């Protein structure tokens, strides 16, 4: 199928690569910085250096997919899509947008005659190799139109249509809230081990737990990799940002009277990390760098993945 992806960041660029290399798709790649477009062209995509060119290179019904960061930049790009698109075209928001914004945007976009999809995408810097788990909300007929691309992007059984506008981003929001809690549990456990009377090799513990243990996981495999490079995470500051989804999950839990103590506690622990150093926060910072390429703050020397 034909589709366009605007935003050649870590995920957008690798999504273009996967679509071109692993599926029968014609992909138009757009980006504000022309160098990123040139890189995508080298991977087999067609390049577009303006939104007008981007839309013009696609035939109706177009798939106009934004892979920009959530917030005002996405809001502006979706508006630009609507200025150049035709009725019946499909506008896709692949950012980690707040689901309430997605519901509002869908109403606005549908009122102009366009179709809407919100895609919550998990896969980070590893998505090109292992696939992108994709949670989709919006217009059912639009989902059917883009399903072949979603199938190429995802691993087996790794995508699903979940309901009307906002459903995809709501599911991704909760997914990231759960991620907060999992990271916090691992982090606290490793800090208890690290401060104990025993001289544990934390890489070895991570490897051991991944051999049939009930707590084995991909995150624990990433912990093993992080500890192998820096046994005590001495090069990483225990400072952890939050990108919004954890806060939104806690707010929705409050709205729904759900006692989400673990997720709330993990969010507040991130706030605490910005005030004082802790080994648990080093673990979370290292794991976020492993699975998503998220920047880490330097401790004494530069930490490079």
pLDDT tens sequence for the chain (305 residues): 999 999 999 999 999 999 999 988 999 999 999 999 999 999 999 999 999 999 999 999 999 999 999 999 999 999 999 999 999 999 999 999 999 999 999 999 999 999 999 999 999 889 999 999 999 999 999 999 999 999 999 999 999 999 999 999 999 999 999 999 999 999 999 999 999 999 999 999 999 999 999 999 999 999 999 999 999 999 998 899 888 899 999 999 999 999 999 999 999 999 988 876 778 888 988 999 898 888 888 775 444 44
**∠287-293-294 over CA atoms, to 5°?**
75
The active-site residue, picked from 36, 46, 75, 179, is: 179
Assess whether 172 carries a catalytic annotation.
Answer: yes
Task: Please tell me the predicted confidence (pLDDT) of residue 302.
Answer: 46
Task: Please tell me the predicted confidence (pLDDT) of residue 292.
Answer: 83
Residue 90's closest CA among 30, 31, 5? 5
Contact between residue 61 and residue 85 where contact means Cβ atoms under 8 Å apart: no
Q: DSSP class of residue 99?
A: H
Token couple for 106? 């869908």
Token couple for 63? 């798939």
Ordered domains of the chain (ranges, CATH): 2-165 (3.40.50.720), 172-292 (1.10.1040.10)
The active-site residue, picked from 46, 172, 224, 245, is: 172
Chain-centroid distance, C-alpha 245: 10
Contact between residue 190 and residue 279 where contact means Cβ atoms under 8 Å apart: yes
**Spatial separation of the C-alpha atoms in residues 232 and 295, rounded to whole Å:** 18
Task: Please tell me the predicted confidence (pLDDT) of residue 300.
Answer: 54
Assess whether 228 carries a catalytic annotation.
Answer: no
Token couple for 294? 């998220």
Cα dihedral 112, 61, 123, 77 sign: negative
| Integer angstrom CA distances of residue 87 from 81, 83, 221, 305 | 11, 11, 47, 45
């Amino acid at each position: 199928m034909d589709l366009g992806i605007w935003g050649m960041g870590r995920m957008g660029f690798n999504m273009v690569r996967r679509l071109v290399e692993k599926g029968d798709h014609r992909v138009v790649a757009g980006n504000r910085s022309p160098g990123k477009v040139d890189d995508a062209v080298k991977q087999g995509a067609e390049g577009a250096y303006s939104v007008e060119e981007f839309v013009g290179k696609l035939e109706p019904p177009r798939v106009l997919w934004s892979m920009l960061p959530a917030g005002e930049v996405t809001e502006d790009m979706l508006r630009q899509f609507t200025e150049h698109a035709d009725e019946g075209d499909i506008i896709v928001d692949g950012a980690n947008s707040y689901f309430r914004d997605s519901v509002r945007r869908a109403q606005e976009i549908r009122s102009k005659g366009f179709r809407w999809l919100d895609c919550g995408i998990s896969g980070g810097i590893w998505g090109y190799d292992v696939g992108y788990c994709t949670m989709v909300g919006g217009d059912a007929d639009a989902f059917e139109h883009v399903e072949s691309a979603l199938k190429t992007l995802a691993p087996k059984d790794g995508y699903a249509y979940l309901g009307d506008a906002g459903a995809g981003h709501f599911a991704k929001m909760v997914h990231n809230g759960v991620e907060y809690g999992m990271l916090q549990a691992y982090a606290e456990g490793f800090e208890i081990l690290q401060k104990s009377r025993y001289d544990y090799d934390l890489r070895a513990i991570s490897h051991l737990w991944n051999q049939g243990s009930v707590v084995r996981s991909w995150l624990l495999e990433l912990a093993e990799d992080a500890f192998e490079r820096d046994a005590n995470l001495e090069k990483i500051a225990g400072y952890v940002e939050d990108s919004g989804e954890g806060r939104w999950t806690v707010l929705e839990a409050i709205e729904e009277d759900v006692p989400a103590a673990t997720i709330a506690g993990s969010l507040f622990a991130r706030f605490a990390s910005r005030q004082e150093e802790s080994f648990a926060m080093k673990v979370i910072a290292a794991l976020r760098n492993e699975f998503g390429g998220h920047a880490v703050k330097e401790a004494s020397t530069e930490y490079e993945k």
